[in-house]
Amino acid sequence: MISEGIHAYSRKQLIVNADDFGLTEEINKGIIRCYQEGILRSASILANGIAFEDAVLLARENKGLGIGVHLCLVEERPVLSAEEISSLIDENGCFPKNYIKFLIKFCFKKIKPLDIEKEFDAQIKKVICAQVRPTHLDSHQHIHMIPSIFNIVLKLAKKYDIKSIRLVQSGECYLCRLFLCFFAFHNKKKLKKNNMSYPEYFLGFDNRGNLNYSILGRWLRNLNFGTTEIMCHPGYKSTTDRYSHWNFHWEEEMFMLIKPELKRLIKDLDVELVNHSS
């Protein structure tokens, strides 16, 4: 188990988790390549991604890859119909464009908590019905870290017997760090109370889509004992520009994660590669 009080602190364990599995077929191919040739051992699937079915087939073919559910309330379309979760969507049937717009609606109580629960429930159920057993829950743009939303995610994790939830605990931006530390403090207590597991450390918040070998090498050389999750975004470059505004360097991250010297470094540092179910 990956949980404080249970974990063997004499070891350094590492979860390299790719977000956005199912977003596009190009991203799916890159993630699988990083699993087969590199250090990736975990991925988070978008139930409402346009390439979800392709991701499901790849997950079934690569049994050792841990698959979590990347819960989403931003930018994409919902799994449920507009009538079922009307407070979550705009006139075009889409979620808010980004987490800032979501937070504005949420803070002004224009979003119904029940709609969040119904949509998250449908997303988890869609993954399970596709015969993919989730190892953990996390979320697109870390929406689940908001304490009241975290309560919903925790409730659903227990409902579906999912044992691990991502706990985002770091950020270099002062304001982000302040909020994340506050959220993590309260959410961690809930995880412990409910005997849920989580990686003790989390890296990648400030480097999303722009992780490079220099940064990753520094992190690896300074890993704490216990379990660390590193969030990454590998993939092949998309043939569309739908997500170009993210300014992510998908291919650079992919080629970094399959570098032979990276695997040698992990071996030399005696770091064990695991996923959320290890």
Q: Is residue 162 part of a domain?
A: yes
- Report yes or no: 186 and 147 within 8 Å, Cβ to Cβ: yes
Q: Show the domain range for 167.
A: 12-273
Q: Is residue 233 part of a domain?
A: yes
SS3 41: coil
- Report yes or no: 73 and 113 within 8 Å, Cβ to Cβ: no
Can you list the alpha helix ranges (DSSP code H) found in the chain? 25-37, 52-61, 99-107, 113-129, 147-159, 174-193, 213-221, 250-257, 260-268
**Distance in angstroms (rounded) separating the CA atoms of residues 146 and 262:** 34
Q: Is residue 76 part of a domain?
A: yes
What's the CATH code of the domain at 61?
3.20.20.370
Q: Is residue 37 part of a domain?
A: yes
Number of Cβ atoms within 10 Å of the Cβ of 116: 23
Q: Is residue 1 part of a domain?
A: no
Predicted pLDDT at 1: 45
Q: Is residue 150 part of a domain?
A: yes
Q: Is the pTM of this model over 0.75?
A: yes
What does each of the 278 residues of the chain score in pLDDT, given as a tens digit? 455 433 446 799 999 999 999 999 999 999 999 999 999 999 999 999 999 999 999 999 999 999 999 999 999 999 999 999 999 999 999 999 988 999 999 999 999 999 999 999 999 999 999 999 999 999 999 999 999 999 999 999 999 999 999 999 765 555 566 777 888 888 999 999 999 999 999 999 888 888 999 999 999 999 999 999 999 999 998 766 788 888 899 999 999 999 999 999 999 999 999 999 97
Predicted pLDDT at 7: 46
Predicted pLDDT at 4: 46
**Distance in angstroms (rounded) separating the CA atoms of residues 228 and 79:** 31
Q: Is residue 4 part of a domain?
A: no
Residues pairing with 229 in the sheet: 15, 202
Q: Is residue 59 part of a domain?
A: yes
How many domains, in total, are found in the chain? 1
